[in-house]
Amino acid sequence: MVRYPQIRISLRTRNPLVLVAAVRQELRRAGVDREEIQRFSKEALSAKDLQKAREVCNTWVATGHRGE
């Protein structure tokens, strides 16, 4: 289940740091509180690989990846 399904992100990059940054930015724009964004960041940045980082992002917002 997605925590913030109203937030949608679609990127063309495979870089997990870019994905995490985009999610953080959209969470801020949606007015999510700082502590919640920090919780997301900690979880996403602790991911061991690209797939795990995407999985974390997918649990927080609606994502779509192109060009893979």
Predicted confidence at residue 66, as pLDDT, reads 42
Rounded to the nearest angstrom, the gap between the alpha carbon of residue 6 and the centroid of all alpha carbons in its chain is: 13
Predicted pLDDT at 68: 40
Can you give the pLDDT of all 68 residues of the chain as single tens digits?
Answer: 899 999 999 888 878 889 999 999 999 999 999 999 999 999 999 988 888 988 999 999 998 754 34
Question: pTM for the whole thing?
Answer: 0.86
User: What's the rounded Cα separation, in Å, for the pair 23 and 68?
Assistant: 19
Task: Name the burial class of residue 6, with classes exposed (0-12), middle (13-18) and buried (19+) by CB atoms within 10 angstroms of its CB.
Answer: exposed
Q: How far is CA 37 from CA 25, 40, 66, in A?
A: 9, 5, 25
Q: What is the pLDDT of residue 65?
A: 55
Give the span between the Cα atoms of 54 and 68, in whole angstroms. 13
The predicted structure's pLDDT at residue 61:
96
